[in-house]
A and B are shown apart, each in its own frame.
Chain A
Amino acid sequence: MADIAQTAPQSGPAHRRRPLPLRLVLSGTWLLVVLICAVFAPFIAPHDPLAQDLLLERLPPFWMAGSEPGYYLGTDGLGRDVLSRIIYGARIALTVAFVAATAACVIGSALGLIAGYYRGFVDQIVSRIVDIWMSFPPVLFAILLVAVIGTGLHSVILAIIVIDWIRFCRVVRAETFVQVKLDYVDSARVAGFSRLTILIREVFPNTLPTIVALLSLEMGIAVIVEAILSFVNLSISTDDPTWGGMIAEGRTIIYFAWWVLVFPLIALFLTVLAFGQFGEGLKDRFDPVLQ
């Protein structure tokens, strides 16, 4: 974009490069940190996340009396290092976020575009399916699904895709409705393009800012859903460190060792918040219509 910004004709409004909005910077930084933790967990984590040491159980975080050097955020009821488990937990959280959200996005957006653009019969079918899906409470739906198809990372991802594609479908369909009414679509038809070409080349790029914002938000949602499923013990095995699993364990010993619950909760909260803010920030920054 840089070269256009500088050579843009003077007649239009000013096009100097705007500074990146603060929320984009903050949320992007946090997400980058989480990503680095996930990818390089073995090098970053100070301890083996599975190593138990009953002599070191329920150590408090470093600033409290009774802490041990090297166990910065303390240990849990089995003497496992909380920080290391959070760092490893980022792996599962991000895997679920990327895979599940992307798949839900592709499926939902494609159906939303088609339904919103061609209307009629296709739209009828898609809309009815969406209506039916909407009548299930999503978290209960996820728990039921995983209970039926079995626990494990694959099931969690599949459950999120099956449930959350409608989120994309509804929003993209509505956005497509709006776009189709704009004159540029008529211009393209007058210029002789087929309806399919217009959908792909003219309408779809205009829905991208919305799709990207929603994708980021959905990644946050996927992180929460994974945490919830881990919390109720329906995700991967309890030994493997997941944020939801840690929160569940921490809950039982909250009065003796609050840090086991609080730190993964903070990690979860910040990550979900960052995904949402990052998406909104991207939309504001790169939607040409808003510029």
Chain B
Amino acid sequence: MMADAFLDIADLSIVLRSDRAHRLLRSVDLHVNPGEVRGLVGESGAGKSMIGKTIFDILPRAVEAVEGAVTLGGTDLLALSSNARRREIAAAAALIPQDPLTALNPVRRIEGQITDRLTAILGFSKKAARDRALTLLEEVHINDPERVLRSYPHQLSGGMRQRVLIAAAFAAEPKLIVADEPTTALDVTVQKQILRLIAEMQAHHGTALLFVTHDLGVVAKICQNVTVLFGGKVVEDTDVKGLFAHPAHPYTAALINATPRYDRPDQSLLPVPADVIEATRAEIAKADAEWLSQRGQTLKAAS
């Protein structure tokens, strides 16, 4: 299973540059097979976006990957020069970002922002790229694609912008799409439409999807497998049925109890108990201590 994963993150640790003993991601393993829809779940600050940023080589300056491998379609990304890496990533994967308000460049028309990758990386002619953009906008159910192509981002609503970003993500037929909480910034009524749209586009194109969310309900609806992250550590990696039937980690079990269930609407919701969180933190602290004792010398010397 690991061997034919399209995205394979192995043993990834990310630290703060200012304090290299402080890990934001703790030996994370994560893989996504071709065509698979995998949920990545965790509370705010768990490190979900960090994983996405590592894949796309857009980590903030304050942090650094100190350990681990990221393999995309059989290519070890970290072994490539940064130029080769960005071309490889652009051709194989795309990101649907969290905030459609800032993810589009305010001073550029929509057309260029959808066709960028086609013309720059895949060598499409301007005309061919435009035709492709029109088709994509129709696929994401935008009524007047010609007009939208000519518009600037501020002339579109939040939902329209997210549709545009979805179209842009699918433009170059990537093998993998990472959707980082793509509906959080949207109006509740629009959220469902966008969610349905992403699922629909994924099925239509057969793209592998890493869906980042903090909502297990959404995971139950659209994902096959799920990875649960707590404090930068993977606490659960299973298929969705197994997750709800017999969660392996107490934190996951507590998380399930804290999530509204569509199949059991009368069940009362319980907050994640403090002792579960304490126990999970202790587990992480223990793992950190081990990790540090193995690499402490070099890390401490640098910090």
Q: Which A residues are closer than 8 A to B by beta carbons?
A: 3-4, 7-9, 11-13, 15, 119, 182-184, 186-194, 202, 205-206, 208, 288-289, 291
Give the nearest-CB partner of A7 in chain B: B147
- Give complex CA distance A11, B121 in Å: 32
- Cβ distance B192 to chain A, nearest Cβ, rounded Å: 17
Cβ-defined partner of A8 (8 Å) among B53, B58, B151: B151
Given A12-B157, A193-B120, A206 contacting B90 (CB threshold 8 A): no
- Give complex CA distance A123, B159 in Å: 38
A4: chain B residues at CB < 8 Å are 150-152, 155
- Cβ distance A1 to chain B, nearest Cβ, rounded Å: 9
Inter-subunit contact A183/B144 (CB<8 Å): no
A8: chain B residues at CB < 8 Å are 147, 151, 155
Q: Mark B81-113, 1 if CB is under 8 A from A, else 0.
A: 001001101110111011100111111100001
B91: chain A residues at CB < 8 Å are 192
A192: chain B residues at CB < 8 Å are 86-87, 89-91, 117, 120-121
A3: chain B residues at CB < 8 Å are 150
Inter-subunit contact A190/B58 (CB<8 Å): yes
Inter-subunit contact B103/A183 (CB<8 Å): yes
Residue B289 lies at the interface, judged by CB distance under 8 Å to chain A:
no
Give the nearest-CB partner of A1 in chain B: B152
- Of the four ranges (under 10, 10 to 19, 20 to 34, 35 or more), the interface on chain B belongs to 35 or more
Give the nearest-CB partner of A189 in chain B: B58
**Beyond known contacts A8-B155, A192-B91: 9 more, CB 8 A cutoff:** A4-B152, A9-B156, A12-B160, A184-B105, A190-B56, A190-B90, A190-B95, A288-B106, A291-B154
What are 19 inter-chain pairs, A to B, with CB distance below 8 A? A4-B152, A8-B155, A9-B148, A9-B151, A12-B155, A12-B156, A183-B99, A183-B102, A186-B58, A186-B97, A187-B103, A190-B58, A190-B90, A192-B86, A192-B91, A193-B116, A202-B108, A205-B108, A206-B106
B127: chain A residues at CB < 8 Å are none
Cβ-defined partner of A187 (8 Å) among B95, B121, B150, B156: B95
- Cβ distance B173 to chain A, nearest Cβ, rounded Å: 14
- Give complex CA distance A188, B112 in Å: 11
- Give complex CA distance A183, B95 in Å: 11
- Cβ distance B2 to chain A, nearest Cβ, rounded Å: 25
B57: chain A residues at CB < 8 Å are 189
Inter-subunit contact A194/B151 (CB<8 Å): no
A288: chain B residues at CB < 8 Å are 106-107, 152, 154
B53: chain A residues at CB < 8 Å are 186
- Give complex CA distance A202, B112 in Å: 11
Given A9-B155, A9-B160, A11-B160, A190 contacting B121 (CB threshold 8 A): no
Give the nearest-CB partner of A208 in chain B: B107
Q: Which of B89, B107, B151: most chain A CB closer than 10 A?
A: B107
Give the nearest-CB partner of A286 in chain B: B107
- Give complex CA distance A50, B157 in Å: 63
A193: chain B residues at CB < 8 Å are 86, 116, 120
Residue B61 lies at the interface, judged by CB distance under 8 Å to chain A:
yes
A291: chain B residues at CB < 8 Å are 154
- Give complex CA distance A3, B150 in Å: 10
- Give complex CA distance A7, B144 in Å: 10
Give the nearest-CB partner of B146 in chain A: A7
- Cβ distance A95 to chain B, nearest Cβ, rounded Å: 32
Cβ-defined partner of B86 (8 Å) among A182, A189, A206, A208: A189
Cβ-defined partner of B117 (8 Å) among A7, A13, A191: A191
B61: chain A residues at CB < 8 Å are 119
- Give complex CA distance A291, B107 in Å: 12
Give the nearest-CB partner of B142 in chain A: A9
A9: chain B residues at CB < 8 Å are 144, 147-148, 151, 155-156, 160
Shortest beta-carbon contacts, A-B, top 5 = A192-B90, A183-B103, A184-B105, A183-B102, A12-B155
- Give complex CA distance A189, B97 in Å: 13
- Cβ distance A227 to chain B, nearest Cβ, rounded Å: 36
- Cβ distance B268 to chain A, nearest Cβ, rounded Å: 38
- Give complex CA distance A43, B49 in Å: 67
A289: chain B residues at CB < 8 Å are 106, 154
Inter-subunit contact B104/A184 (CB<8 Å): yes
B58: chain A residues at CB < 8 Å are 186, 189-190
- Give complex CA distance A153, B196 in Å: 68
Cβ-defined partner of B56 (8 Å) among A119, A186, A202: A186
Given A189-B86, A191-B90, A12 contacting B97 (CB threshold 8 A): no
Inter-subunit contact A11/B120 (CB<8 Å): no
Q: Which of B53, B103, B148: most chain A CB closer than 10 A?
A: B103
Give the nearest-CB partner of A15 in chain B: B155
- Give complex CA distance A133, B106 in Å: 34
B148: chain A residues at CB < 8 Å are 9
Give the nearest-CB partner of A5 in chain B: B155
